[in-house]
Amino acid sequence: MSGRYSTGLCYCGSGLDNHQLLDARGIFCGYVCEKCEAEKRSHYRPDIFEDGDYWADEPIDDDY
Ligand SMILES: [Zn+2]
């Protein structure tokens, strides 16, 4: 997967290299490693990592 880059060891203390956790829209959610990625993802709605249209249910109010 491109677009992932590490800043060094993960902040969770695992001793593993971290990488960027990005949602389906490429929005940065934090730095994770393979040990804490699942835990970090659990703080977010799971669909934001799978469905890039997750905000599309907001009505578009074009009132000009
Ligand atoms: Zn970690």
- Summarised one tens digit per residue, pLDDT across range 1-59 is 444 688 999 999 999 999 999 999 999 999 999 999 999 999 999 899 998 887 666 66
Q: How far is CA 2 from CA 15, 42, 44, in A?
A: 23, 23, 22
61 pLDDT more than 80: no
pLDDT of 57 reads 61
pLDDT of 52 reads 85
pLDDT of 54 reads 75
Residue 59 is given by DSSP the state P
Helix H segments across the chain? 37-41
Tell whether 19 is covered by a domain.
yes
Q: How far apart are CA 29 and CA 56, in angstroms?
A: 19
Q: How far is the CA of 26 from the centre of ligand 1 (A)?
A: 19
Domains contained in the chain, number:
1
pLDDT of 53 reads 85
pLDDT of 29 reads 94
Tell whether 64 is covered by a domain.
no
Q: How far is the CA of 23 from the centre of ligand 1 (A)?
A: 17
Tell whether 47 is covered by a domain.
yes
Q: How far is the CA of 53 from the centre of ligand 1 (A)?
A: 28
